[in-house]
Amino acid sequence: MKLPTRKKQHKAESDSYAILLYKLKDVGIFRNLTENDYGIDFEIEIVRKDQVTAEYVKAQVKSSKKITIRKADKVPTVGGIKQSTLRYWALLSFKVNVLVYAVDLESENIFITKPVFWQASKLIDGSNKTKSIEFLPFDRYQSELAGALTYFFALAPTVLDIIHNHKIALKRMHHFIDFYVDTFRYDIQLPTSDSDVFRSFLDICSVLMWDEIYDNSALSENERKGFLNYEYWSQQGNPVSDEIPNFVIQKPMKYLMPLFFIAITKYNKKILDAKFYWREKDCHYLKLAYECVIPDNLESHEQIMSCGTNWNAFSMNKPDDFYLFLAEIG
């Protein structure tokens, strides 16, 4: 008697889901979306102290009997990703962070991407070719890390948040530079020239630097907790006034401005790396990133002050015509 046979692909999928759900069982609530196979398998909502949080990610699960890991950098990779899937991930990422998991069915290790938008948008090229995506480098405690990273990425800014703040940073770059110079040029006891600029600067840094690891050894414990918080710094000035003196603002500005330039440069590169995608999605944003000129070596206070006092000269060093750049994309 011949009975139906389960396909190997179906078994692999079933096994990978079981492994993922078991190893990430403490993260939160898994909502199964596999019945609609459009590039997302699960929605994972974070649970904190038995309370649902409305903080969640969308997840796609890939599996293999043995995941390929590059020897040079220990980065796991999975191929065969369709252009339509990349576009779907990119579109969905504007609302919620999308993660891709790879389950090694042999070792039962779980690998995870960062929010996949930037990788997906870079791989979109208008062709019919499938692409390979990369996961975070292999670690012997990969499965344990996958749970912690899922939690972390659920709390991370969405693409919409990042793009909004990146655009503001690009448009107001000269305001932040001028504010920096004024903070150190004017009497340290005088109130800041524009507290709204300072507040906006901190808000942008908190979003664009969300995943950066930086040396905070020079900060006190309280400063580390409140460093990107405007209210914290306002309390260090006049307790009966909203005015913040320059000597208070000098410390966060001196510390954050080099990191701000690094973050802007990083996101400019991400936009330009995905130029085909952004030409279709938001050509004006692509133009902003392309024409943004940030001088090299803005790492010290002296270099930033020099840049600020000569900003008009620096900003004149525009790249080649943007529309020639567009024409070369193809």
What's the CATH number of domain 8-155, 3.40.1350.10, 3.10.20.30, 3.40.50.1860, 3.30.565.10? 3.40.1350.10
329 pLDDT band, cuts 50/70/90, is confident
% of the chain exceeding 90 in pLDDT: 51
**Start-end of CATH 3.40.1350.10 domains in the chain:** 8-155
The residue ranking higher by pLDDT, 240 or 120, is 120
What is the pLDDT averaged over residues 251-279? 95
pLDDT at 226: 86
* 162-176 pLDDT, tens digit each: 999 999 999 999 899
* 69-119 pLDDT, tens digit each: 898 899 999 999 999 999 999 999 999 999 999 998 888 889 999 999 999
What is the pLDDT averaged over residues 2-10? 61
6 pLDDT band, cuts 50/70/90, is low
* 118-132 pLDDT, tens digit each: 999 999 998 999 999
Q: Residue by residue, what is the 3-state secondary structure of the chain?
A: CCCCCCCHHHHHHHHHHHHHHHHCCCCEEEEECCCCCCCCCEEEEEEECCEEEEEEEEEEEEEECCCEECCCCCCEEEEEECHHHHHHHHHHCCCCCEEEEEEECCCCCEEECCCCHHHHHHHCCCCCCCEEEECCCCCCCHHHHHHHHHHHHHHCCCHHHHHHHHHHHHHCHHHHHHHHHHHHHCCCCCECCCHHHHHHHHHHHHHHCCCCCCCCCCCCHHHHHHCCCHHHHHHCCCCCCCCCEHHHHHHHHHHHHHHHHHHHHHHHHHHHHCHHHHHHHCHHHHHHHHHCCCCCCCCCHHHHHHHHHCHHHHHCCCCCCHHHHHHHHC
pLDDT at 1: 64
* 156-209 pLDDT, tens digit each: 999 999 999 999 999 999 899 999 999 999 888 888 878 899 999 999 999 999
pTM, two decimals, is 0.90
pLDDT at 97: 97
